[in-house]
């Protein structure tokens, strides 16, 4: 066992004395040491129930003959961090989570790991750690929130942000806004639509690192506690058989995850996280592959914010395995791959059933013939621009309009909420990329303001930052190269014409090559907005959004 290095032998007598101080018995020290990485927190609704999940996992581990040891992982609530300096500290935690988990596992000689994440950067950060550490590992998340109800309709956090825009536009009054405020987030759990947290938790099933239901069983269901106990049991089987993350997270498994991503209509943030996780596993996933996968994968689900259904509906319809069962009918998945269940993916989905063909469309009757995410390229985005195609209204699939240029999110929000943005405009928000932010803020506030003010079918938004999974509309993010490194988005002038052509994967600035070259020659780099603390180091190490915003030493970039 790996843990023998801290438990066995004369030289380990001091180590054992410290285990004695922890209350370990001699019998417990002979068992495999299982690190339970708990992201429990009292500041995040998606994490406030993780103490219950953690206790259930501990019971499962102990029952199966292991010695569970709980260690922490941090997380940030993107909703609370949204729209201010706090959002600069969201994406950057993904690498802190991976690094700190590596340190804890390596320093203490764990034989296996149970990862207990739930929210946005927490899930990919722990998947990155799992691939990097590569000891037997299983995931069990905290589960999604139930949808709220306002005036007889299901609602979620995206509805709340859009209600603010409606209030600013005079469409609802303060009492109606308060009604949303009190009712859209009714329980603990990750916010109830197909936002980033739920997208990534669903993809843990698709990639083979989580048990059935990990992505969809609501946080408040007792089935979530049973799932946690089963995960605790199963880690001991993985340790016994030495099944490690890189045995499961192969290139084919990542392609499965991308395929399920397109079918579900996941958050655009998966286009940051999947390449970063793959990088830790020694696999390159570039965005060209994403368009290839999207071209052959129909979009089967329209969960909020793309449609009126929520995670609880997906769970009742059969969950991720039911989606995979539909995809398998067209041979769109590699099924003979190992998973943490101890079975192949083919065996996992054998008994899955699509119980609601409106929540999960049959493969022959999809919402769209291609995937939920598109990668756009052109002279405005030579590397990539990412859009959640499944959440764009038909009339905005092709759009041309004048650029309204802002060098930070706050200036754009002020212009939107004061009526300075009009139908036909293309809002450009730059210097919000991984280096320029620094930290690549989510733009849920401006996209929600646009939707809430009734401009969702006439105004587009383009940024080198990124979007919340709760964003909808013609919102194109991850534009690379970013403005901070002199990408073409830095060269856009007020009033320039911009063409968005989602069906043809194009994003064009209607300016001649000669004029762009002249502007480029005049462009000067800007000092990052924050130049101290962790963000200073992050800014120096982070790479482009189209590479997953992974960290590299300066001489590697």
* Residues that are catalytic: 468
Beta strand 153-155 with 67-72 is: unpaired
Instruction: Tokens for 29, please give them.
Output: 């020290």
| Residue that the structure tokens 């959002």 belong to | 87
Residues in the chain: 557
Q: Using the CB atoms, write b or e for 443-463: b if 16+ within 10 Å.
A: bbbbbbbbbbbebbbbbbbbb
Say if residues 441 and 466 touch (Cβ distance below 8 Å). Answer: yes
The CA R_g of the chain, rounded to the nearest whole Å, is 23
How far apart CA 21 and CA 27 sit, in angstroms, is: 15
* H-helix segments, 109-156: 122-133
Q: Give SS3 for 352.
A: coil
The torsion angle over the Cα atoms of residues 124, 128, 130 and 131, rounded to 10 degrees, is 130
Q: Who's near 325: CB < 8 A, 6+ residues apart?
A: 318, 349, 352, 353, 354
Say if residues 462 and 489 touch (Cβ distance below 8 Å). Answer: yes
HEC profile for 143-201?
CECCCEEECCEEECHHHHHHHHHHHHCCCCCHHHHHHHHHHCCCCCCECCCCCHHHHHH
Dihedral sign for Cα 19, 21, 22, 28, please.
Answer: positive
Alpha-carbon distances, residue 386 vs 373, 383, 399, 446 (angstroms): 7, 10, 16, 17
How far apart CA 342 and CA 92 sit, in angstroms, is: 34
- DSSP codes, 522-537: H------S--SHHHHH
The H or E element that residue 401 is part of is strand 398-406
How far apart CA 23 and CA 531 sit, in angstroms, is: 45
């Amino acid at each position: 066992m790996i843990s023998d290095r801290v438990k066995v032998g004369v030289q380990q007598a001091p180590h054992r004395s410290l285990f004695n101080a922890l209350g370990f018995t001699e019998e417990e020290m002979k068992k495999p040491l299982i690190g339970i990485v708990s992201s429990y927190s009292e500041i995040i609704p998606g994490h406030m129930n993780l103490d219950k999940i953690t206790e259930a996992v501990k019971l499962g581990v102990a029952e199966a003959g292991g010695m569970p040891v709980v260690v922490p992982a941090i997380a940030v609530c993107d909703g609370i961090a949204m729209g201010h300096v706090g959002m600069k500290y969201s994406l950057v935690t993904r690498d802190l989570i991976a690094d700190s988990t590596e340190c804890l596992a390596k320093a203490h000689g764990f034989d296996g790991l149970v990862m207990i994440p739930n929210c946005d950067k927490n899930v990919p950060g722990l998947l990155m750690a799992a691939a990097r550490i590569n000891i037997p590992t299983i995931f069990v998340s905290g589960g999604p929130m139930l949808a709220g109800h306002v005036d007889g309709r299901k609602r979620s956090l995206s509805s709340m942000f859009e209600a603010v825009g409606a209030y600013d536009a005079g469409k609802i009054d303060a009492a109606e806004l308060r009604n949303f405020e009190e009712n859209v987030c009714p329980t603990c759990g990750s916010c109830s639509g197909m936002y980033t947290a739920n997208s990534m938790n669903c993809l843990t099933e698709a990639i083979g690192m989580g048990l059935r239901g990990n992505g969809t069983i609501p946080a408040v269901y007792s089935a979530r506690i049973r799932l946690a106990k089963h995960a605790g049991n199963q880690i001991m089987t993985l340790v016994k058989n030495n099944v490690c993350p890189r045995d499961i997270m192969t290139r084919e498994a990542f392609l499965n995850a991308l395929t399920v991503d397109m079918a579900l209509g996941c958050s655009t943030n998966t286009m940051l996280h999947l390449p970063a996780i793959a990088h830790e596993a020694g696999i390159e996933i570039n965005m060209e592959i994403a368009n290839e996968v999207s071209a052959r994968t129909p979009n089967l689900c329209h969960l909020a914010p793309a449609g009126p259904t929520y995670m609880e509906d997906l769970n009742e319809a059969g969950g991720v395995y039911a989606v995979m069962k539909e995809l398998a009918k067209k041979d769109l998945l590699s099924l003979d791959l190992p998973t943490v269940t101890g079975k192949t993916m083919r065996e996992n989905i054998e008994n899955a059933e699509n119980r609601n063909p409106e929540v999960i469309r049959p493969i022959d009757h999809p919402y769209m013939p291609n995937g939920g995410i598109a990668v756009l390229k052109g002279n405005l985005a030579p590397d990539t621009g990412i859009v959640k195609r499944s959440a764009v209204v038909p009339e905005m699939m092709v759009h041309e309009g004048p650029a309204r240029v802002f060098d930070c999110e706050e200036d754009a929000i002020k212009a939107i909420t004061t009526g300075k943005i009009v139908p036909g405009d293309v809002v450009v928000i730059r210097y919000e990329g991984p280096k320029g932010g620094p930290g690549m803020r989510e733009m849920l506030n401006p996209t929600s303001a646009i939707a809430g003010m009734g401009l969702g079918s006439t105004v587009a938004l383009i940024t080198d930052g990124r979007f919340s999974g709760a964003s909808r509309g013609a919102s194109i993010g991850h534009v690379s190269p970013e403005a901070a490194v002199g990408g073409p988005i830095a060269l856009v002038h007020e009033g320039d014409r911009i063409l968005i052509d989602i069906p043809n994967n194009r994003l064009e600035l209607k300016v001649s090559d000669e004029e762009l070259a002249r502007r480029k020659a005049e462009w000067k780099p800007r000092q990052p907005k924050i130049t101290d603390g962790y963000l200073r180091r992050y800014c120096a190490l982070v790479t482009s959004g189209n590479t997953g915003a992974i960290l590299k030493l300066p001489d590697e970039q």
